[in-house]
Amino acid sequence: MTESAQQALFRRIRRKIGAPVLTVELVDEQIEECICQAIEKYSSYINNWALQNRMAEMLGLPNNEDVTLKYVANSLYMEKSMAKHPSEMIGGGVNTTRELKTDGINLSANTQNYSIPANREVEEVMWYTPSFINLYGLDPFANTNIAFTEFGASFAGYSLYYVMPVFDTILTAQAAELRNKVRGSEYSYTIHAGSGGTRVLRLYPVPTRNQGTISPSYSSTAGGPGTPGTVFYRYYDRVGTDGNPLLSGNTGNPQGIGDTGKTGNGLVSGPADAPLYNIAFDDLNDIGKNWVKEYAEALAKELLGIGIRGKFSGELPIPDATVTMNSADLITNGRADQDRLLDQLGENLDKLSLKNILEDRAAMQEAVNKSLQSVPLGIYWG
């Protein structure tokens, strides 16, 4: 605000309060403070509106780039970031920037814990309960089917068996799985923190034989198929712990985190570090300037009533009399004007939210469509 515009606003606020008929005991510094507070309040409401409507587009932007009163394009960054993790699990897809790698661990008999090197973000451990459907019911010559030996049927010296329907095969495999679950153990694992940034992979059940042999016919003491010699896992390389979306997948955070000495990647991670600041008075349109002027006037009324005319409880002793000041009226009117202006501003911003704008447009379009239904169609001339 220029010096001349500032002095004009000072005179306006004094006249609105009662000058020159009444003496307004506010100095320029006090009125200037009211104007600054009004600008801060208006900026707070406008910036909150921006957060509510543009936060998804601000995520991932550099936090040193001022976006106050600036248009932020609909980049779908939040939607892409939500889809990034599952897409990385399959090694491709939306916004994937990291390579999905695979490594293996050689198993040893009766050894449950295994070490994973540091700086690896494990996505999947391929340690599953083997499918029992391959072990039961698929072999027409298996002794799990019905034999025709009692009828004397044979082929090349072997007994013939009646091949059961597919439904029976499925039930047989399910029964075998249930028996193993109750009497034995399902395959599962947990990952714990290790020393020096490593991870400890704990396998259930404990591998029951040495590495090397992977014959599917081997059966463990748990009743299921034998433990494989190698368990594979998929992972991403992880660099640092302070946030690097290209490598670690952590949420962006501001550079310099308190006195910890840690530094992040300088990206917007939420409302706390979104680069929104108080708006300069000259950058406001006339609607915003008028609101600031009215709110500054309301603050000046309250300040005059509390800080000056409210001295001695609003009663000024003079010789042989007492003069009652209008401090109570100033305080009441000032606070009422503030509440009115804030409510009005909040309601207007709520009506102008992107969600409400889209809903209003949809309603308008629906009304237009209904109106056009009453318009007679033109005659087509072929």
Domain with 175, as residue range(s), is 101-237
Residue 92 inside a domain? The answer is no
pLDDT tens-digit readout, 113-129: 999 998 888 888 998 87
Residues in a beta bridge with 200: 115, 192
Token pair of 65 as six digits:
């780039």
Does residue 113 sit within a domain?
A: yes
Helix H, strand E, coil C: the string for 271-285 is HHHCCCCCCCHHHCC
Q: Which residues of the chain have pLDDT under 50?
A: 136-138, 141, 144-145, 210-225, 240-252, 254
Confidence at residue 243, expressed as pLDDT on a 0 to 100 scale: 39
Verify that 229 and 286 share a domain, yes or no.
Answer: no
pTM for this prediction: 0.58
In a domain, 27, yes or no: yes
Where does a domain end: 184, 215, 237? 237
DSSP state at residue 195: G
Q: What is the pLDDT of residues 272-292, one digit of tens each?
A: 888 999 999 999 999 999 999
Rounded (10°) angle between helices 28-58 and 3-17: 110
The answer to the question of residue 181 being in a domain is: yes
- 153, 157, 161, 162 alpha-carbon torsion, rounded to 10°: -50
User: Quick one: which H or E segment has residue 231?
Assistant: strand 230-237
pLDDT value at residue 161: 52
Domain count, the chain: 2
